[in-house]
Amino acid sequence: MISLTSPVETVFHRWPAGLKLALLCVAGTGLFMLASLAGQLVALALVAAFYTLPGMRFARAGLAALRPVALFAALIAAWHVATGTLAEGAVIVLRLLSAVALANLVTMTTRLADMLAVLHWLTAPLRRIGLNTRPPELAISLVIRFIPVLSEKGAALAESYRARSPRRRAGWRIAAPLAGLALDDADHVAEALRARGGLSEGARK
Amino acid sequence: MSKVSERDVVMIALFAALIAVLGLVPKLTLASGIPITAQTLGIMLCGTVLGAWRGAAAAALFCLLTLLGLPLLAGGRGGLGVLMTPWAGFFVGFPIAAFVTGLVMERMRALPVAAGAAAGSVFGGIVALYVFALAWYMLAKPAGLGEAVTVAALPFIPGDLIKAVLAALVTQALAKARPGALPSRG
Amino acid sequence: MSEIRLERAAYGVNGREILCPLTLTLDERRIGVVGRNGSGKSTLARLLAGLIAPTGGAVMVGGDDLFADRKAALARVGILFQNPDHQIIFPTCGEEVSFGLVQQGRNDAEAAARAAMAEIGKAHWWDRPVGTLSGGQRHLLCLVSVLAMAPEWLILDEPFAGLDIPTTRALHARLAALPQRVVMISHDPEALEGFDRVIWLEAGAVAADGPASEVLARFRAAMEGEGDDLTDLAG
């Protein structure tokens, strides 16, 4: 499974994931409280500097990841132009860009395995009070495993649809057979899981 | 809620994967210029097919993996940045949408599958999701109700109505192909 | 070594009988189960592995009821399914092989899993995403995952379906060399050649049970004599 982690090694890759997440929470709260336009400009400049630090290739990837926000920023800007509240709108758009860019920075520099480790650490209190966190952790692995399997099946269904239809794209029409295959697969996979000990056996250290 | 079985966990995981895969289906563009993808269709299906709590768990699992850094949202988006726009309520609200959809499906057993699924999708995938997402928008931006409705809700409602109809059709097709296989009506 | 005993074990769904009450004792090294589609072969495999409980009678392996006692089941029986994509649960090969060992409560799960992969010369597969493996390689990964758990019995449900001839041969050779006792389910008499015992299932009942050569010859003769029409598919 392809993740959003950047292949360009940055200094941030080496920071502990938990620290990055904690800093992101602090920075996010700070951005939300900061109401001055100048302050928001400085913040955005700072974030931009973080992106250019590891080099231009990384900065370009970061800019590309920010592209989907453009639509949202445009919608907000349009509203504030229409209602004549430009200064307020500028603060909000700048805050939006900085916050998303910072969050993306954490995502781009943290491997999935490290995120999962933080999650495991965060859920430790649940285990201490006797809850079994193994089923959800198993489910996470299953999702990562089955996204490619289901998309292959979806592609095959779309192909067999095209083979017998004048339409070029199957689109949503494969949703029903695909959901059906997912239900069938669930029975088989549950059986295979049970054959190797299921959810409750073993695994208790 | 009874004890979680292997089958429940696997079904939840597979439907979380299904939501992701449906996000890859080529998107349509509405007359209003807003792209619609089959992803919210996947959320509605979680409710109509799996029922309330399993559907909500599948949606939550999908959200979690997206936040952890997998590009599972339509257009290959993902990561923590998703949380940072005022529209994030539409994403964070997925489990609530699936739960309400499933609850309606489970409670309205008297209705035919398609009608129950359509009602569920409208109440869960549209009403519940929008109430939650608009509240989120008003708090996160911050904004008033009028702005939230104009900017965050109106442009997306036509697409979501289409998806509620599709969810009903898909659920009915599934019920026909596999009689008795809908956990939500099991 | 444990033996598998079926005592009037039957299986039915919604009143439809899939397996008639069977009484069998299995203690040969290589046992084949042959039959047509829908004869109840796969149901028998699932009963033997303790994945389903008989709706009548009992199935015991070495005196354990494997449906009730899953802990014992892991040590007694491993099962290999027809479609590796239904069996592989994890995104990478290493996690997949480790899983069963962790489930058995072993503290050295990772080391044992690495050893099991090194034994077949695939140590370099450890971090490999399972999606990049070919069909035959996925079968092999499933086999290693099960064998790493060192069960006494290995149940194989149509292990060669959809594989090419060289891959089938390679897997066949690997299976032949196993110290485990094997129950192999197949619709293909070729795959069961040379087995110690073959059981022919027909409509959920034993049609023949005995040495491979004898049972397979009768099975082949019966299949050749079948009509060419598809009426059997009705229903």
CA distance A119 to chain B (A): 9
Question: β-pairing, C197-202 with C205-210?
Answer: antiparallel
Q: Which of B10-24, B73-87, C104-118, C157-171 has the lowest mean pLDDT?
A: C157-171
Of C87, C104, C145, the CB nearest to A202: C104
Residues 26-65 of A with CB under 8 A from B: 28, 65
Is C90 within 8 Å of A205 when comparing Cβ atoms? Answer: no
Q: Both tokens of residue A201?
A: 């056996």
Is C71 within 8 Å of A196 when comparing Cβ atoms? Answer: no
Residues 6 or more apart whose Cβ sits within 8 Å of residue A27: A99, A102
- How many residues are there in chain A? 205
Span B6-185 CATH architecture: Orthogonal Bundle (1.10)
pLDDT band at residue B176 using 50, 70 and 90 as cut-offs: confident
Residues of chain A with pLDDT under 50: 201-205
Q: What is residue A173's predicted lDDT score, i.e. its pLDDT? A: 78
pLDDT band at residue C152 using 50, 70 and 90 as cut-offs: very high
Report chain A residues whose CB lies below 8 A from the CB of C85: 149, 185
Q: What is residue B29's predicted lDDT score, i.e. its pLDDT? A: 53
CA A196/CA C168 separation, integer angstroms: 24
Q: Assess contact for A53 and A109: CB atoms under 8 A.
A: no
Is B68 within 8 Å of A112 when comparing Cβ atoms? Answer: yes
Mean pLDDT of B163-180: 88
Q: Kindly state the percentage of chain C with pLDDT values over 70.
A: 95
Question: β-pairing, C181-186 with C30-35?
Answer: parallel
CA distance B163 to chain A (A): 10
Q: At B5, is the secondary structure helix, strand, or coil?
A: coil
Task: Using alpha carbons, list the distances in angstroms from residue C65 to B47, C2, C71.
Answer: 37, 12, 10
Domain boundaries, chain B: 6-185
pLDDT greater than 80 at residue B186? no
Of B17, B26, B38, the CB nearest to A143: B17
pLDDT in tens, C184-231: 999 889 889 889 999 999 999 999 999 999 999 999 999 887 755 565
Q: What is residue C224's predicted lDDT score, i.e. its pLDDT? A: 85
**What Rg, from alpha-carbon coordinates, does chain C have?**
18
pLDDT in tens, A81-122: 999 999 999 999 999 999 999 999 999 999 988 999 999 999
Q: What is residue A205's predicted lDDT score, i.e. its pLDDT? A: 37
Helix or strand (DSSP H, E) at B140 = helix B129-140
CA B149/CA A121 separation, integer angstroms: 39
Q: What is residue B74's predicted lDDT score, i.e. its pLDDT? A: 80
Residue of C70, C80, C92, C133 to mutate, interface with A, max A Cβ within 10 Å: C70
The interface predicted TM-score (ipTM) is 0.89
Residue of B7, B8, B10, B166 to mutate, interface with A, max A Cβ within 10 Å: B10
Query: Does B25 contact chain A (CB < 8 Å)?
Result: yes
Residues 69-98 of A with CB under 8 A from B: 69, 72, 75-76, 78-79, 83, 92, 96
Q: What is residue A203's predicted lDDT score, i.e. its pLDDT? A: 43
Per-residue three-class SS string for A90-152: HHHHHHHHHHHHHHHHHHHCCCHHHHHHHHHHHCHHHHHCCCCCHHHHHHHHHHHHHHHHHHH
Q: What is residue B154's predicted lDDT score, i.e. its pLDDT? A: 87
Q: What is residue A201's predicted lDDT score, i.e. its pLDDT? A: 47
Q: Residues in chain A whose beta carbon is closer than 8 A to a beta carbon of chain C? A: 1, 138, 141-142, 144-145, 148-149, 185, 188-189, 191-198, 201-205
pLDDT band at residue B36 using 50, 70 and 90 as cut-offs: low
Of A79, A139, A198, the CB nearest to B13: A139
pLDDT band at residue B141 using 50, 70 and 90 as cut-offs: confident
Amino acid present at A185: D
Task: Using alpha carbons, list the distances in angstroms from residue A197 to A161, B6, C3, C66.
Answer: 39, 10, 21, 11
For B54-89, letters b (16+ CB in 10 Å) and e give: bbbbbbbbbbbbbbbbbbbbbeebbbbbbbbbbbbb
Residues 135-164 of B with CB under 8 A from A: 141, 147, 150-151
Interchain CB contacts (distance < 8 Å): A and B: 186
Q: Assess contact for B101 and B124: CB atoms under 8 A.
A: yes
CA B47/CA A114 separation, integer angstroms: 31
pLDDT greater than 50 at residue B1? no
- Mean pLDDT, chain B, rounded, equals 88
CA C186/CA C192 separation, integer angstroms: 8
Task: Using alpha carbons, list the distances in angstroms from residue B81 to A68, B132, C145.
Answer: 10, 19, 38
Query: Does B98 contact chain A (CB < 8 Å)?
Result: no
Query: Does A18 contact chain B (CB < 8 Å)?
Result: no
Q: Which of A181-185, B74-78, C42-46 has the lowest mean pLDDT?
A: B74-78
Q: What is residue A67's predicted lDDT score, i.e. its pLDDT? A: 87
Task: Using alpha carbons, list the distances in angstroms from residue C4 to C28, C147, C206.
Answer: 10, 19, 16
CA C73/CA C152 separation, integer angstroms: 10
pLDDT greater than 80 at residue B48? yes
